[in-house]
């Protein structure tokens, strides 16, 4: 089994190897390794983030081509504010640049842009650019390109809990109505199916406060490749591996 898996990994995976009737509906990605990619080339860290934007374009394209419904990208965490001011500033300018460069293509591909995160702390320029893209793409019906910006899963869960409590106090929700389904409705992902697949690049194998509730039954896929070097081939490999897994959601195999 293991040798077969290894054998397949060196082969090229093409779209024709993918079962298009069984693609994951929702893929979430932790785009990691930009800094190390740049360091290996003697470049400043921000060069890695810049290169990472090109990878986003490639992956959004292939995800749209194979019929994925939601692609959630961890672009900036609630913890990333601790980084040097210059790097934070650079990262906050990327969504605007990306959307400026790529908007026509997003429209052609029928992509809907979405923001998921605590928007109040985002700089005006960043927030306005993403909100404008959301507005422009809101009638598109293809891939949802969901940017997690200033997102943290623990904060999201605490926030959901506070909102539930408020609604109970205000009589909008009965205490007995609190269950997993209602709780889910208070999360920032309430409109999307749970991620079927989580990909993390750069060799790190942890969740880093990303979608802790939503990833309960997701398949996890890791690659040592740094995000700027991640590409369509590797993405298809992840989907291919995903399709070989038996998902049981705590039950037994049929």
Which one, 95 or 195, has the nearer CB to ligand FPP?
95
36 annotated as ligand-binding = yes
Shortest distance in whole angstroms from residue 231 CB to ligand FPP: 14
Tokens standing for residue 68: 């994925």
> Positive or negative, the Cα torsion across 39, 40, 43, 48?
negative
Which of the 8 DSSP states describes residue 13?
Answer: P
Shortest distance in whole angstroms from residue 147 CB to ligand FPP: 5
CB of 148 within 8 A of CB of 116? yes
In three-state secondary structure terms, 81 is helix
Shortest distance in whole angstroms from residue 67 CB to ligand FPP: 22
80 is catalytic: yes
Going by C-alpha positions, the residue among 237, 205, 231 that lies closest to residue 58 is 231
Rounded to an integer, what distance in angstroms lies between the CA atom of residue 77 and that of residue 55? 19
Residue 220: count other Cβ atoms within 10 Å of its Cβ.
14
Shortest distance in whole angstroms from residue 113 CB to ligand FPP: 10
Shortest distance in whole angstroms from residue 213 CB to ligand FPP: 21
From 17, 22, 61, 80, the catalytic residue: 80
In three-state secondary structure terms, 55 is helix
In three-state secondary structure terms, 22 is helix
CB of 112 within 8 A of CB of 140? yes
CB of 113 within 8 A of CB of 149? no
Which one, 34 or 137, has the nearer CB to ligand FPP?
34
Which one, 133 or 238, has the nearer CB to ligand FPP?
133
Query: Measured at CB, which residue is nearest to ligand FPP?
Result: 35
69 annotated as ligand-binding = no
9 annotated as ligand-binding = no
154 annotated as ligand-binding = no
59 annotated as ligand-binding = no
From 19, 22, 32, 150, the catalytic residue: 32
Which one, 113 or 237, has the nearer CB to ligand FPP?
113
132 annotated as ligand-binding = no
Cβ neighbours of residue 70 closer than 8 Å, sequence gap 6 or more: 25, 26, 27, 143, 144, 146, 192, 193, 195
CB of 143 within 8 A of CB of 61? no
Which one, 24 or 33, has the nearer CB to ligand FPP?
33
Contacts to ligand FPP by CB under 6 A: 31-36, 49, 52-53, 56, 75, 80, 91, 94-95, 98, 147, 202, 227
Rounded to an integer, what distance in angstroms lies between the CA atom of residue 102 and that of residue 158? 35
Annotated binding site: which residue ranges? 32-37, 45, 49, 77-79, 81, 83, 200, 206-208, 219
Catalytic residues, which ones?
32, 80
Annotated binding site for substrate: which residue ranges? 33-37, 45, 49, 77-79, 81, 83, 200, 206-208
Annotated binding site for Mg(2+): which residue ranges? 32, 219
């Amino acid at each position: 089994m293991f040798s077969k898996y290894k054998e397949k990994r060196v082969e090229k995976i093409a779209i024709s190897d993918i079962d298009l009737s069984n693609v994951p509906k929702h893929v979430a990605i932790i785009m990691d390794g930009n800094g190390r990619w740049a360091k290996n080339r003697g470049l400043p860290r921000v060069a890695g983030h810049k290169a990472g934007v090109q990878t986003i374009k490639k992956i959004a394209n292939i995800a749209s081509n194979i019929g994925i419904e939601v692609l959630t990208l961890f672009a900036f965490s609630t913890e990333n504010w601790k980084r040097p001011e210059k790097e934070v500033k650079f990262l906050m300018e990327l969504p605007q640049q990306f959307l400026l460069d790529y908007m026509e293509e997003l429209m052609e591909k029928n992509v809907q842009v979405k923001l998921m995160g605590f928007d109040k702390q985002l700089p005006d320029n960043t927030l306005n650019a993403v909100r404008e893209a959301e507005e422009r793409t809101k009638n598109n019906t293809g891939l949802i390109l969901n940017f997690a910006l200033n997102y943290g899963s623990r904060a999201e869960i605490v926030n959901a809990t506070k909102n539930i409590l408020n609604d109970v106090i205000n009589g909008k929700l009965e205490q007995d109505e609190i269950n997993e389904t209602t709780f889910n409705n208070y999360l920032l992902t309430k409109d999307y199916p749970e991620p079927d697949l989580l990909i993390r690049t750069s060799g790190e194998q942890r969740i880093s406060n990303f979608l802790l509730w939503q990833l309960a039954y997701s398949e996890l896929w890791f690659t040592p490749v740094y995000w700027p070097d991640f590409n369509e081939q590797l993405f298809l490999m992840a989907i291919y591996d995903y399709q070989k897994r038996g998902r049981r959601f705590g039950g037994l195999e049929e």
